Structure 1
């Protein structure tokens, strides 16, 4: 089967290409990139006025399967990914049971092949049962297909265990992904500690809790000479610590989320539980530091931290609600609206952070448009205006801090392995 994407603006950060042209796909591979490619006997997508990018990659999602399918499962989560323009997602191991052995890694990979509609990658646990006491079967999981190792869902307080884990994963050049917050400082808080929390009388999570944890985790990675990835960075102190570590040659990468890049703690004056996330939304000075970190390469990737919950779990008083919300279907719109249309990032920079760099960090052969590459492609309209409506989401999580907001920019076509999976907002599989 042949598919021709014709007349689109091809943006490929891998080689800094930004041209108007055509892409011809056959048998799941890109076979030609050029001008005015012949169309006989070929399905044609008219991409005039649209951006054609390497498929978006989300390296931090919670698909909840196994054990927490009331919140999300592989079928619903990967359809939400396709609806948002993502062709690959990597799922976190904080499920029930936790993904801490090769059998579970293998099982999720197989479920992704049978139930999923986008490429599904697996992140294995660092410690058994995520208890932070004993290393999980790291080597077996990596050899089975795990692309990273993490105890995300909480901060690993056991310094010795993290040191040992980094020494072990370093032999595979496999990144450890850390949720870096000192729970001794932050554990009893519900939002960013600052002027807004003081005004509301809500106990806060101080930004220094993140700074301390990031510094510790980077120091251990530097000592072990092992790759480490700092998840969902939210504080200006952490940005500077990562910046200085990179200058020293530490193997550290980092991500920020669309919500931490576009929202502040001012939103919590409504006590809407959709705004409750971990780490928390912070004040505008932290947001500005995150954007500066994206611009100068300190922060390598944009990841959603897609964390859906059942409706009744979030429909409670603010302090009792779990942290997190569904982010796959709003990510591109939030980033284009908040960062591109405000002149803070270019399209090239956004696609690099949402495709090329996540692939590079996880060691994936994707995130690029080149002849011979797997045809994972996202076509989006940066000018498309639409309103967020959680009820229409494919994800089971129906809470979003962006509910009822108008976004400018939306994925219109998601192509996975040469097949159109989503078109004009409708997932076709």
Structure 2
């Protein structure tokens, strides 16, 4: 099968490419990139006025399988990813049972081949059962294809175990991904500790809890000379700590989420449980610091932390609702609306954080457009106006803080290995 993507604005961050041109796809791979590729025998996609990018990569997704399929599974989660323009996603290990052995990694990899519509990478657990007491089968999981190791879902309290885990994963060149919040300070908090929490009478999770945990985790990585990735950074202090660590040469990378980049704790005045997330939505000064961190390279990626829950779980009093919400299908629209159309980030900067940046962190051969590479491509209309409707989501999670919001910008086509799997919002597989 031949496809010709014709006349689009090609943004390829890996090569600092931003040109108008064509991309020819043959047999699932990119055959040519240029100003006038041959069209004989090819199905033509007219991309005039559209943006053609490497397939987007989300390095932080909760697919809930195995064990929590009422919230999400590989079939529904990968279709949500396709609808959101993502061609590769990496799933976190906080499932039941946890992804803490090579058998589970291999099983999910095989399931992804039969049930998934985008490429699925597996993140293995750092500790057995995510209990924080004993290292999991890290080496075996990496040999079976795990791209990173994490106990995400909560902060690993054991300094000794994290140090040992970093030393071990460092031998494989794989990052440990940390949820960095000091639970001694943040435990039982429901939102950012500040003026809004005081008015609402809700116990807060202070920003310093994140700062302290990020500092500790980075210091351990520096001591072990091992790569570490800080997930869903949300505080001004954490951004500065990461910035200073990078200047010292520490092997640290970090991500921010669309919601932490565009929403503040002011949203929680409604007590809408869709806004409940950990780490919490913070005040405007923290949001500004995150955006600055993206611009200067302190933060390397934008990741959704897609965390769907069953409807009845979130449909309760705010303090009792679980944290998290569906994020795959709104990510591009939210980021373009809140960061690109407001002039806070350029389009190449955003595409880099959504593709090449996360792929590089996980050591993937994706996030790039080059001849001979798999044809994983996303085509985006930056001017497309639409309103978020959770009921129409492919994910099973029907809660979103962006429900009913008007967004500007949306993926129109998702291509995986040369096959169109999403077109105009409809997943075709």
Report the TM-score when normalising by structure 2: 1.00
* 2:295 alignment counterpart: 295
Output the CA distance in 2 between the equivalents of 1:150 and 1:392: 32
Measure how far apart 1:41 and its partner are. 1.3
Output the CA distance in 2 between the equivalents of 1:230 and 1:40: 47
Residue 193 (str. 1) matches residue 214 (str. 2):
no
Measure how far apart 1:38 and its partner are. 2.2
* 1:386 alignment counterpart: 386
CA deviation profile, 1:404-427 (whole Å, cap 9, x unmatched): 000000000000010000000000
* 2:63 alignment counterpart: 63
* 2:425 alignment counterpart: 425
* 2:113 alignment counterpart: 113
Measure how far apart 1:37 and its partner are. 1.8
Output the CA distance in 2 between the equivalents of 1:53 and 1:290: 24
* 1:323 alignment counterpart: 323
Please give the secondary structure, in 1, of the residue aligned with 2:153. Answer: coil
Please give the secondary structure, in 2, of the residue aligned with 1:14. Answer: helix
Map residues 87-102 of structure 1 onto 2, 5 A cutoff: 87-102=87-102
CA deviation profile, 1:100-146 (whole Å, cap 9, x unmatched): 00000000101111000000000000000000000000000001000
Please give the secondary structure, in 1, of the residue aligned with 2:421. Answer: strand
Q: Which runs of 4+ in 1 moved over 2 A?
A: none
Map residues 172-321 of structure 1 onto 2, 5 A cutoff: 172-321=172-321
* 1:39 alignment counterpart: 39
Output the CA distance in 1 between the equivalents of 2:401 and 2:374: 34
* 1:72 alignment counterpart: 72
* 2:158 alignment counterpart: 158
Output the CA distance in 1 between the equivalents of 2:8 and 2:156: 45
* 1:401 alignment counterpart: 401
Measure how far apart 1:27 and its partner are. 0.8
* 1:356 alignment counterpart: 356
Report the TM-score when normalising by structure 1: 1.00
Measure how far apart 1:39 and its partner are. 1.5
Output the CA distance in 2 between the equivalents of 1:319 and 1:382: 37
Measure how far apart 1:35 and its partner are. 1.6
Measure how far apart 1:278 and its partner are. 0.3
Residue 133 (str. 1) matches residue 156 (str. 2):
no
Output the CA distance in 1 between the equivalents of 2:41 and 2:349: 36
Map residues 366-377 of structure 1 onto 2, 5 A cutoff: 366-377=366-377
CA deviation profile, 1:251-300 (whole Å, cap 9, x unmatched): 00000000000000000000000000000000000000000000000000
Output the CA distance in 2 between the equivalents of 1:313 and 1:264: 23
Output the CA distance in 2 between the equivalents of 1:229 and 1:295: 18
Q: Which runs of 5+ in 2 are unaligned?
A: none
* 2:411 alignment counterpart: 411
* 1:4 alignment counterpart: 4
* 1:23 alignment counterpart: 23
Please give the secondary structure, in 2, of the residue aligned with 1:180. Answer: coil
CA deviation profile, 1:354-394 (whole Å, cap 9, x unmatched): 00010000000010001011100000000000000000000
Measure how far apart 1:188 and its partner are. 1.3
Output the CA distance in 2 between the equivalents of 1:107 and 1:78: 16
* 2:81 alignment counterpart: 81
Please give the secondary structure, in 1, of the residue aligned with 2:90. Answer: strand
Please give the secondary structure, in 2, of the residue aligned with 1:104. Answer: helix
Output the CA distance in 2 between the equivalents of 1:249 and 1:35: 40
Measure how far apart 1:65 and its partner are. 0.3
Please give the secondary structure, in 1, of the residue aligned with 2:355. Answer: helix
Output the CA distance in 2 between the equivalents of 1:110 and 1:406: 38
Alignment size in residue pairs: 429
Measure how far apart 1:310 and its partner are. 0.2
Task: Indicate the RMSD between aligned Cα atoms, in angstroms.
Answer: 0.4
Please give the secondary structure, in 1, of the residue aligned with 2:15. Answer: coil
* 1:340 alignment counterpart: 340
Output the CA distance in 2 between the equivalents of 1:154 and 1:343: 34
